[in-house]
Amino acid sequence: MTTITAAMVKDLRETTGAGMMDCKAALTENAGDMQASIDWLRKKGLSKAAKKAGRIAAEGLIGAVTAGNKGVVVEVNSETDFVARNGQFQGLVKMIAQVALDVGADVEKIKAAKVGSVTVETAVADAIATIGENMTLRRAASLEVSKGVVSSYVHNAVIEGAGKMGVIVALESAGKTDELATLGKQLAMHVAAANPLALDSAGLDPATVKREKDVLADKYRQQGKPENVIEKIVESGLKTYYKEVCLLEQAFIHDSGKSVAQAVKEAEGKVGGPIKVTGFVRYALGEGIEKQETDFAAEVAAVSGQK
């Protein structure tokens, strides 16, 4: 039998906004499986959250850089936030982002690329030796358009182009690049704040859509709704879901009275031509990485030879 800890209950409560006892019941019912417990709470109408956000656990910096019609975003991790505030580390992140802009988003190609007389991999190893803490290039992504711009936004920037979150957005258009760049920056800020999962419903993972449909259907079955009614309610619920997670259907953060798609369409007048949002990438530092929690007192005891 799975042991349900107070920490597990706390995490589920923070994720869903459900009550303490409901969270414990959900975890018990689902053998401690966090995602299954979230779905269980949602089916009973007890969860206030649609999805679990990845816990931000790793330290380091996100670097983002653009040049005209292309842009990249990279994540470089360190062991502590103290190193992320180190000037040498910050310079390393900006250098890696610039290299990625030139060679592409393949991590191994970035590591093998030359900077002066050394490779990026060697530069990272030298920084580790100097600063005394492990560092790693975790991931990279790039966007490019044939005509138009790729814009970026860095949230909580510690230096220009590097911070705790980085976003790039690609806009395809033959219109004025300065107006496009302004719109691109606004959209990148929107992506940072709203965290869409895809451009539109067609870009969503089919498994994610199916899970959403199943959760909605089970929720209303438990309320005793007939199947023919459930089908209509689920379709309506999916439309609401798409407005929450699809970029073009989300309410624009700079003008909540219109959708992002409407804001882009309206901007075509200023730009002087059609605009197509072709893609976006949003990196939040450490998402998806669980940092091992340590007992500081136990660590000190271990070092001193005590038990």
CATH of the domain at 131: 3.30.479.20
Count the domains in the chain.
2
Kindly write down the DSSP assignment for every residue of the chain, as one continuous string: -----HHHHHHHHHHH---HHHHHHHHHHTTT-HHHHHHHHHHTT----SSPPPP---EEEEEEEEETTEEEEEEEEES-HHHHT-HHHHHHHHHHHHHHHHH-S-HHHHHHSEETTEEHHHHHHHHHHHHTS-EEEEEEEEEE-SSEEEEEEEEEEEETTEEEEEEEEEEE-SS-HHHHHHHHHHHHHHHHHH--SBSSGGGS-HHHHHHHHHHHHHHHHTTT--HHHHHHHHHHHHHHHHHHHBGGGSEETTEEEEEHHHHHHHHHHHHTS--EEEEEEEEETTTT-PPPP--HHHHHHHHTT--
Same domain for 69 and 157, yes or no, is yes
pLDDT (0 to 100) of residue 15: 75
Residue 95 belongs to a domain? yes
Are 82 and 35 found together in one domain? no
Mean pLDDT of 161-175: 97
Q: Is residue 225 part of a domain?
A: no
Domain that holds residue 31: 1-55
Same-domain pairing of 2 and 65: no
Looking at the fold, whether 30 and 65 belong to one and the same domain comes out as no
The larger pLDDT score, comparing residue 302 to residue 270, is at 270
> What's the pTM?
0.75
Q: Residue 50's pLDDT is what?
A: 40
Q: Are residues 76 and 128 in the same domain?
A: yes
Is 189 a member of any domain?
A: yes
- Residue 46: the pLDDT is 67
Average pLDDT for residues 19-34, to the nearest whole number? 89
Q: What is the pLDDT of residue 38?
A: 85
- Tens of pLDDT, residue by residue over 173-226, are 999 999 999 999 999 999 999 999 999 999 999 999 999 989 889 888 888 888
Q: Is the pLDDT of residue 292 over 80?
A: no
- For residues 163 and 224, give the distance between their C-alpha atoms in angstroms, rounded to a whole number: 49
Domain for residue 250, yes or no? no
Q: The CATH number of the domain where 38 resides is what? A: 1.10.8.10
Residues 98 and 144 in one domain: yes
Residue 157 has pLDDT above 70, yes or no: yes
Domain shared by 104 and 179, yes or no:
yes
Q: Based on the domain organization, do 138 and 18 belong to the same domain? A: no
Domain check: are 68 and 176 in the same one?
yes
- pLDDT tens digits along 106-138: 999 999 999 989 999 999 988 888 887 888 999
Asked, for residue 154, whether it belongs to a domain, the answer is yes
Q: How confident is the model at residue 80 (pLDDT cuts 50, 70, 90)?
A: confident
Q: What is the pLDDT of residue 112?
A: 96
pLDDT at res. 290: 57
Q: Which two tokens stand for residue 231?
A: 């089908």
